[in-house]
Amino acid sequence: MSDNKTTPRDRDLLIARMNDLARQIGEMEPDDPLRAVRLQELYTLTELSKSLKTERNKNIEKAEKNGELTATANEQLRSKPAKEVSTHRRGAGGRPVS
């Protein structure tokens, strides 16, 4: 039987892939034909990440309404810092480009 729930490891892998793609894109020349493919993949993964976060928030709210989660636990879950993908352009060697 398949389990559709995401785990912290799943989210970590997703974030790691997004960071890797962002790094690759930053190192590419603007006219590199592969850049568009990588940008589309990053966009798709970003949308997936947003969707998972929205679903997680809905589940937290549902659990709180059902009395399964205290307000304090809810705040702790929501205030947990999320790892973000860097959107800064990077040049060769990963150095920022202005």
Domain borders along the chain are: 8-94
| Average pLDDT score, the chain | 78
38-85 pLDDT, tens digit per residue, is 999 999 999 999 998 888 888 878 887 887 766 666 666 666 655 555
Tell me the pLDDT band of 98, cut-offs 50, 70 and 90: very low
Mind giving me the DSSP string for the chain?
Answer: -------HHHHHHHHHHHHHHHHHHHHS-TT-HHHHHHHHHHHHHHHHHHHHHHHHHHHHHHHHHTTSS-HHHHHHHHHSPPP----S-B-GGG-B--
